[in-house]
Amino acid sequence: MGEQVEGIVGRMVDGMIRRSVRRTFRNVYWIPPARPVPEPAIYVPNHHGWHDGYVMYLAMSELGLKHRFHDWIQEYDAFPLFGKIGGMPFPANDSARRAATIKQTVRYLREGRSMMLFAESVLHRPPELRPFGKSLDLLAGKAPDAKVIPVAIRYELSMHERPECYLLFGDPVPAGPDLAQRTRLEVWRQLDRIAYVLKTDPEAFQVVFRGTLDVNERMDMRSLPWNRKRVDDGRTR
């Protein structure tokens, strides 16, 4: 996949992300896209959770992309090693660096690379979606071949010891006027779809990244050899 992970440092950062998600969640789930994933593409998720960037990175790594993907990181300077897995600086207080990143991103999109874009700009509590900023319209206008893909991320904490994360990738949003607003509505629809499928057909979701099972699942003493024998003996009587 286009050298998404650069060298030893990139592998270290990739491993850090995987350990964090594995430690935090029971599992990360998705319904795989029904159609081949277009390249280049701009993936636009909601931003309701601290782990959004991590779970998007893991899901996009499973999409089978041929080229590298990127994302903008407002606090990039706090951990510039994210650049080794596709991160790009987008500091809130430095318009010159943001402009340089936008210019470089357009070049990447024209080369066939993809990106994830948190169009709400800031992390915030669910369930509302904040208005999408101007960046999406700008990038789509500068790189018209890039498809805009709405993505929904939902976190659930009720049935298990750790939260579960669910992702859905929608169909490309047609180009044209009011692209940002139409994409925002599609993200809403995907969030509603997650809620509906969880109620009606939860088995439709597949594990895209395995986390940590509940303590009762990890330490089920019925699996111990002497307990298995006791169960087997009981079945034969």
* Under 8 Å between Cβ of 27 and 207: yes
pLDDT band at 34 (very low <50, low <70, confident <90, very high): confident
Is there a domain that residue 1 lies in?
Answer: no
pLDDT in tens, 140-165: 999 999 999 999 999 999 888 999 99
Is there a domain that residue 176 lies in?
Answer: yes
* Under 8 Å between Cβ of 191 and 155: no
Is there a domain that residue 138 lies in?
Answer: yes
- The CATH code of the domain that includes 219 is 3.40.1130
pLDDT in tens, 72-101: 999 999 999 999 999 999 999 999 999 999
Beta strands, E only, 130-215: 147-156, 164-169, 206-210
- pLDDT of amino acid 228: 58
- pLDDT of amino acid 201: 97
Range of the domain at 35: 7-236
Radius of gyration of the chain (CA): 20
Q: Global pTM?
A: 0.90
pLDDT in tens, 168-227: 999 999 999 999 999 999 999 999 999 999 999 999 999 999 999 888 877 766 666 766
Consecutive H or E run containing 116: strand 114-116
**Residue whose C-alpha is closest to residue 62's, from 193, 169, 152:** 169
Q: Which conformational region is residue 179 in: left (phi greater than 0), alpha (psi within -120 to 50 degrees), or beta?
A: alpha
How far apart CA 66 and CA 220 sit, in angstroms, is 42
The total domain count for the chain is 1
Token reading at 85: 């897995």
Is there a domain that residue 22 lies in?
Answer: yes
Is there a domain that residue 2 lies in?
Answer: no
